[in-house]
Amino acid sequence: MQQMTALDKMYIVLCAFFSVLIVICNLTYQKFVYLPILPFHTFELSVGAILYPLMFMLTDLIAEFYDKKRANFCVRLAIAMNIVAALIVTGMDTLQATPWSKIDNTLFHQVFGLYGLGFIAIIVACYTAQIIDIALYLWIKKLTKDKWLWLRNNGSTAISLFVDTFTAISFLTLLGIFPKEHFWLIILNSYSYKLFATVCNTPVFYLLVGMIKRFIVPKKVLLAEPLLNTA
């Protein structure tokens, strides 16, 4: 039996982390919070959207060191995990709470009951945006001849995040989960935060790429594969 390499193990970790993040974000999207991270503006957005830029950074990492097939598989795996989570939560919502339960039927349904209604909208938006992000990332990488890491990271994510934000919020508003009068406000706050966080994550992305090349990717692979040499 062939032993797993460090790159194989890293791929498994990235896929697992990505799947966990999507499940958490989709379970918590109904809570909206104030996020005063700028001195001149306070974001009002779903708590589930806070970690979205990190999710796209993970798929960009996979696209950087693996191929399109593996990156797309990671997205499909995460979608499958979401379906499993949705089925489990829906089943739990049908069970009768005991009289002494701190969380009664009504409260549990208010928090998790709409998970099923918004599930399709969020999954469709997330899957579409991630596929676009991976394709754009690799296209920009090829177009720039493996230069300008910041461009393919920020460019692909900026476009795909808008697709995700607009699609998800549109569906959730049509379903009545989000109020119609706050439609554009939610989109503006959610997308502007995601774009801001993506730009701020650029140094972290450079750091991660550098560390992976230094400690995980074998030197013979770097010498043999010029696509891994990033400017």
- The answer to whether residue 1 sits within a structural domain is no
Which portions of the chain are predicted below pLDDT 70?
1-2, 114-117, 218-231
Is position 89 within any domain? Answer: yes
Q: Is residue 129 part of a domain?
A: yes
42 lies in some domain: no
Is 70 domain-assigned? Answer: yes
Note the pTM of the prediction, 2 decimals: 0.86
Q: Which two tokens stand for residue 167?
A: 């699609």
Residue 228's pLDDT is what?
43
Question: What total of structural domains would you count in the chain?
Answer: 1
* Range(s) of the domain holding residue 211: 6-37+49-228
Does some domain include residue 43? no
**Does the residue 44 lie in any domain?**
no
Pick the closest to residue 23 from 111, 94, 123, 132 (CA basis): 123
Q: What is the pLDDT of residue 135?
A: 96
Pairing of strands 32-38, 41-46: antiparallel
- What is the pLDDT at residue 192? 94
Task: Give 108-128 pLDDT, tens digit per residue.
Answer: 988 887 666 677 888 889 999
Decide if 51 contacts 21 (C-beta within 8 A).
Answer: yes
For the stretch 198-201, contacts whose Cβ atoms lie closer than 8 Å and that sit 24 or more positions apart, written own/partner, are: 198/53, 198/56, 198/57, 198/153, 198/154, 198/157, 198/158, 198/161, 199/154, 201/53, 201/54, 201/57
Average model confidence (pLDDT) across the chain: 88
Whether residue 28 lies inside any domain: the answer is: yes
